[in-house]
A and B are shown apart, each in its own frame.
Chain A
C-alpha cells in the first residue's frame, strides 16, 4: 500500500521569502501525486497534480512541484510567499488504476508566514 510522509509538521517563513515543503511517498510504481491546501475552517483545494510527462508541474497561486523518482519525492515550492499562503498543506498519492480509497494523504505541514 502507498504511504506519504511530510517530514515537517510546522514551517515558518518570512513574507517574500522562498518556500519548499517536503513530501516523500512510498509506492511500487509511478504514482499520481497531488498537493492540496486547506485554509482555516475550509475544505481542501487542489494546488497541482502530477500524472505523467514533465516532472515539473505548475499549479495555482504561483506554486510548483517537482517529481523526483530517484528520491521518491514531490516537493512543493513557491519563489516568494504571501501572507495569504498561511495554511495547512497536504501531499497525497493516488494509486494508478483507481481504487476505492483513491488518495492517501500525508499528515500535513502547517505553514506560518512572518511579516
Chain B
C-alpha cells in the first residue's frame, strides 16, 4: 500500500517568505508527527496529532511555526517569515496508535533551503 507522502520534496525560498509543507499519512493512521532534521543534529520533535484531540505543539521552535491536520488525515506545516536557520529536512511520520505502541512510518521528507 501507499506509504507516507510528503510534498514538495525540495523547496528553496527567500528569507522572509512563508512556506507550506504537506504530509499525507498512511490511511487509517491516527497519529501524525512532524520532525525537523538538521545536519548532525538528529531528529527534533515539532508537533504531534492524535485523532481528533488537540495537537501537542510543545516542540515548535517559535510562533512562526504552525501546523494543522484536516479531517484527521492530511497535515500542513507552515513556516512564516522564514529564516536561514529554518533550513533543514522536515520529516512527517504516522503510526496506527502512537510512536511507542506501533512503528513510525516516515515520509521521505521535504528539504527546505532558505536563501
- A-B pairs under 8 A by CB, number: 63
**Residue of B whose beta carbon sits closest to that of A96:** B100
Q: Are A43 and B98 in contact (CB under 8 A)?
A: no
A101-B59, A102-B98 known; A107-B40 Cβ under 8 A = yes
Question: With A and B bound together, what is the CA distance between A103 and B45 in angstroms?
Answer: 8
Are the C-beta atoms of A99 and B104 separated by less than 8 Å?
Answer: no
Decide if B42 touches A105 in the complex (CB within 8 Å): yes
Size bin of chain B's contact surface: 20 to 34
Instruction: Check: A100 CB closer than 8 A to any chain B CB.
Output: yes
Interface contact A98-B100, CB-CB below 8 Å: yes
Binding site for B on A (CB under 8 A): 9, 32, 36, 41-46, 49, 90, 94-96, 98-108
B: which residues have CB within 8 A of A? 4, 31, 33, 35, 40-43, 45, 48, 50, 56, 58-59, 91, 93, 98-101, 103-109
A-B residue pairs, 6 tightest by C-beta: A43-B106, A102-B99, A100-B56, A94-B100, A107-B42, A105-B43
